[in-house]
Each structure stands twice: as C-alpha cells, then as structure tokens.
Amino acid sequence: MQHYDVIVLGAGAAGLMCAMRAGQRGRRTLVLEQADKVGAKILISGGGRCNFTNRGTVPDRFYSQNPHFCIAALQRYKPNDFITLVEKHKIAYHEKKLGQLFCDKSARQIVTMLTDECNTAHVDIKCQQSITSVSKSDTFCVEGEQGRYTASALVLATGGLSIPQMGASNFSHRIATQFGVPVTAMRPGLVPLTFGHQDQDLAKDLSGVALEVIVQCDKKSFRENLLFTHRGISGPAILQISSCWTESKPLVINWLPDINAKEFLWERKRTRPKAEVKTILSEKIPQNLARYLTDPDYTGSMIGSLTDNELAKLAARLQAWTVVPTGTEGYAKAEVTLGGIDTRALSSKTMQVNNVSGLYVIGEALDVTGWLGGYNFQWAWSSGWSAGDVV
C-alpha cells in the first residue's frame, strides 16, 4: 500500500491540471487513469488541434442548475493564465473566430505540456488502472487490480458520459452517490439532432449541405454553420443550440441571416420577374435547399407571378423555418454531458464536497457545461486549478 497527499482519479484536462497544481505546491500527488494513455479527449479535440480556451469566457456561457457556481473558479484561473502557460512552452496558436484558440500544430502539444509540468512537480501518473473500490475512514482508500493507495484528499476527475467509445463512464457519479452527494439528471450536450420519419427524406436529400444560419430555441439563438446529415442536422450552430433543446421543442432557423428576405424577394420580383423562384433563392442558399424551400405550388413559377401575400409567406419560410427534431445522436456523438454531480453540494471556491472533508470534484463530472468553442476546456483548467490550489 502506498500513501499520498492527493489522489486524482482521471488523467484528462481537469485531472492533469489539478495534479500539476497540487504537485507544484509540494503535495505528493498520484493520478490514476483507466485508459492506456492520458488526455485522450484532448488529443481528438478541435480536429486534432485542441480548441484549448476561449478569450470570451464569461459565466453566462455555461449551463447549470446552479448557474453562479462557476464564477469563482473562472475568476481564479482565467483564459489568460492558461495562455501564459501555453506560451511558456512555446506552443504556437491562433485565434480561429469568436475568441476560439487552437494549436497551430497538434493537440498533443497540450498533453505534453501538462505531463511535463506534472513531471517537473514530481506527480506520479499511472495508466491502465482498473479501480474496484473507493472508501474512507481516516483517509481515502482506492483499491484496484494493480494496487492499493491511500490519501487524505481524493479528487474525482473522470469526466462525464460523452464519447463512451473512449472509455467515458459514470464512475465519478457513482462514487459521489456512494458518499451521499446528489447527481442531477444528465443528457447529451453539444450533439447533432435527428429528424423523425416525416423529415427523413429532407435529411437524406440535403446530406452534406452546409451554410451559415441563425438557429433559435426558445429565447436562445446562435449564428454559426449548419450541416445536414443523413439523419438530421449538425454543425456548430446545431451543437450549440442542442444544449438548450429538449424533446418536442421547435427550432426556428433563419437561412438568410445577413439580409431582409422580404426586401430581397420584392427587389427580385421587380428586376428579374421572369426568373424561377428556385433560381432566385439559389442566389443566396445552396441549390438543393432552394428547391426544398420553394413551395410546391410555386414549382416552375416565375417570381413575377407571385402575389405580395405569397412573397411574404416565402420570406417567412426563409427566415423563420420551423422544425421539431425528434432526438439526438446520443452520447456517442455528444461532445459533453449536460448535468452531473450537483454543484450545490460543493464549495465554489475549492471544489470540495461540503459534507465530505477531503473529497473534491472537478471538470465535466460536475453539473457545469460550457458553450462550444473552448469553454469546456477552460472550465477544466479553472476547476482543476481551484482544487489543486487547496488540496
């Protein structure tokens, strides 16, 4: 049996950050990871270049049943703090758009940076660790097929349910429940949406078509690219809105976010009266989508033949098209998990469970979920640092 000051369960973004900071403070720290390598989700993120933070990180870009919880950690460790670390390791990066920062070369650079920092801080990292039990008496005891370890502080950092093919599980949620910590309802977040039978032909016909739109659900809206898939819709706009969407809610899509559709159609009726309606629409949107959005009654019709009322209806179809998805692609395609360990049971400053001294929870395991675009990595860095600075 080996004794440590701190045991971190999970070698993802949050776990490595927490271990790094704890080690820097002179705490004897052990990281246990079930996979055969660390930082698996970091490596695949951002198309392999890791969207490691967002300059525009603010608390209202996170979802939680306890929305104020994330404020303290985000203020304690900010995007610029992580950027400073990236620059210290001479990792070249660029801003893509909307404050999103990516590595110029490879996400592996971020993993190497974190493991190098952990090594410098004398953190022990053990992979391929199958944990069979976690208990507490005077100290926490973690037992597995590869050994038995004890520590005065235990940090749950094994993430959520998204991408189970990479080993995602409900491990942190089960351990939290074991210690009497509540867990909120969970569902896939930042995930493609699927259509029912009535819209399946649309999805198949338009599969691969992409364009910039404004998509709205209730009072929330995002302007980003939408992509049709063979089962429904995806792309950044849909991934963003999926975190707001629940079953039976309609989405309203504006296919022409930069122009006034009514004015455009009226102008074309005046200047190109003999052009077919679908031809006019193809000036602004992909041809396949233009054919679909053209009312069947207008097929082959010249725009000059449409009445003002018909033009108004067409304009509304272009800028307020409504669809009701029937579901999502599930955790297999979800980037994050919405919901998780109830943050009302934790200190927002330290990430420690209020009623279990020495037990901490960080990262995606918690009921804190950010927007697409580097926000969830920043939450991992911020929550990991906050815990690592006090354990």
Tell me the per-residue pLDDT of 120-152, one tens digit each, with 9 for 90 and over. Answer: 999 999 999 999 999 999 999 999 888 999 999
Q: Are 265 and 311 in contact (CB under 8 A)?
A: yes
The secondary structure of residue 165, as a DSSP letter, is G
Q: Are 163 and 41 in contact (CB under 8 A)?
A: yes
Distance CA 374, CA 50 (A): 8
Tell me the per-residue pLDDT of 82-106, one tens digit each, with 9 for 90 and over. Answer: 999 999 999 999 999 899 999 999 9
User: For the residues 182-186, what does the mean pLDDT come to?
Assistant: 98
* Confidence (pTM): 0.95
What is the 3-state secondary structure of 64-84? CCCCCCHHHHHHHCCHHHHHH
Q: Which amino acid is at 34?
A: Q
Tokens 């998780």 identify what position? 340
Domain 193-328 has CATH 2.40.30.10: yes
- Same CATH topology for 2-187+337-388 and 193-328: the answer is no
Distance CA 161, CA 338 (A): 9
Q: What is the CA radius of gyration of the chain?
A: 25
User: For the residues 73-90, what does the mean pLDDT come to?
Assistant: 98
Q: Would you list the domain boundaries of the chain? A: 2-187+337-388, 193-328
Residue 264, classed as helix, strand or coil, is helix
CA atoms in the 13 A half-sphere facing the CB of 76: 21
Tell me the per-residue pLDDT of 189-228, one tens digit each, with 9 for 90 and over. Answer: 999 999 988 787 888 889 999 999 999 999 999 999 999 9
**CATH code given to domain 2-187+337-388:** 3.50.50.60
